[in-house]
Amino acid sequence: MTEASPAKPYALHLGVIALLFALSFVLPDYHHGLLARIMVLAVFAMGYNMLFGYVGLLSLGHAMFFSAGLYGAGLTVYHLGWNVPAAFAAGLACGALLALVIGLLALRTTGVAFMIVTMMFAQVFYLVILYFASWTGGDQGLVVQQAARVLVLGSASLDLTNPTVRYMSALALFSIVLLITLAIVRSRYGRVLVAIRENEERTKMLGYDTFSNKLIAVVVSGTICAASGAAYALLFGYVGSSFASVQYSILPLLWVLLGGAATTLGPLIGTLFMYYVIDITSGFTSAYLLIVGIALILLVLFFPKGILGSIRQRWLGWLP
């Protein structure tokens, strides 16, 4: 963690954003649509990475933050007829509030206990969604109609179901979150988080209030995940409880581990990799999860720090 010039990382990140922008014009329809989805879910992974990668807190309950955003945005549109920006804001607010409450309670624990507590809270959240099935659609979920997914800006209106608008919206969200993440991890606050991860006791002795620093990280992480969930509801039109299941708590962990924990671009690479491995292998065999499993084992063996983490370790030490 030497003081690298800020130019390189910023150039790289802006380059990635420019590349994703350019891809919009050359990708075939299917991959265009898939990449939009991957960018939205990469935001989920980035939110997860904020806590897991930089603070070293392994949560098994982040599906609840994603779904807080998903339901916060989806239900306000579905039941209250809110417009897109208001619904998105509602999703963010739900995620932030939930993260604050969960953070206050769960941060009393560490390590394995933190994993269990977050998983339990996520399970409670999942069951609450099922319990209020008349509002949430239960395990079947709800469809946010196309007509409600239009972003009105003054006299102009953007139809979020249009593939190009959807791609650009996903890219905008991804870019904003990527740059925010980059700014955070390069800031003094980001270094404090890494210090907590490396040695919390020593950080305390240096005079830092580690609890509130961690709490802020939980809230930032939860809000980013909620942004992803809210965007998912508004861009893809489906709100369902399967997103709150434990599977969606494990997926971001997997994406982050694959791409490289504590790397800003790792979540994107991990999500991209997993999506395409599943997409390609499922075309050949119904035992595709076996292949995914083998791919994961090989990655862990040869890239123990994830794809980008290993690249940073071996070649590009300046990667944030």
Partner 1 sequence: MTDKNGFFDLSKSTLSRRTALKGLAAGAGLAVAPGFVRYSQAQSSAPVKIGFQSHRTGIGAAYGRWYEKTTAAAVKAINDAGGINGRPVEVVIEDDGTDPARGAEVVGKFATQHKTDIVFGTLFSHVVIGSAPAAGEAKIPYFVVSEGHHVASTKLNRYVFQPGITDVKSQIQSMAPWIAANAGKKVTQIFPDFAFGYDHRDYLPPALKAQGADVIAQIAIPPTESSFTKYFPQIPAETEVIYHVMVGPAVLTFVKELGEFYGSNRPQLFGFMDSLEATDINSPGLEFLDGSHFWEGSPRYAQPDDSAAQKAYRAAVGIDDNGAAVGDPKDVSTASHMFGCWETLYVVKKAMEDAGYKGPEDRAKLVEATEALTEFAEGPEHPQGPKTFNGKIHQCFGIQNISKVEGGKLKVVHKTKIEDGLYEPEGDYTTQAL
Residues interacting with partner 1, by CB under 8 A? 28-30, 32-34, 37, 130, 133, 137-146, 161, 236-238, 240, 242-243, 279, 282-283, 286, 288-289
Q: Considering the complex, what minimum distance in angstroms separates the CB of residue 66 from partner 1?
A: 11
Instruction: Let me know how long the chain is.
Output: 320
Do 42 and 272 contact (CB within 8 A), yes or no?
A: yes
In terms of CB distance, is 52 or 243 closer to partner 1?
A: 243
Q: Considering the complex, what minimum distance in angstroms separates the CB of residue 28 from partner 1?
A: 7
Q: Considering the complex, what minimum distance in angstroms separates the CB of residue 314 from partner 1?
A: 33
In one-letter notation, the amino acid at residue 180 is: I
Cα-only R_g, the chain: 19
Task: For residues 37 and 292, give the distance between their C-alpha atoms in angstroms, rounded to a whole number.
Answer: 19
Q: Considering the complex, what minimum distance in angstroms separates the CB of residue 78 from partner 1?
A: 10
Q: What tokens were used for 228?
A: 């992803």
Q: Considering the complex, what minimum distance in angstroms separates the CB of residue 260 from partner 1?
A: 24
- The SS3 of residue 168 is helix
In terms of CB distance, is 282 or 313 closer to partner 1?
A: 282
For helices 63-80 and 210-236, what crossing angle results, to 10°?
50
In terms of CB distance, is 86 or 143 closer to partner 1?
A: 143
Do 264 and 320 contact (CB within 8 A), yes or no?
A: yes
In terms of CB distance, is 68 or 219 closer to partner 1?
A: 68
H or E, element range at 207 = none
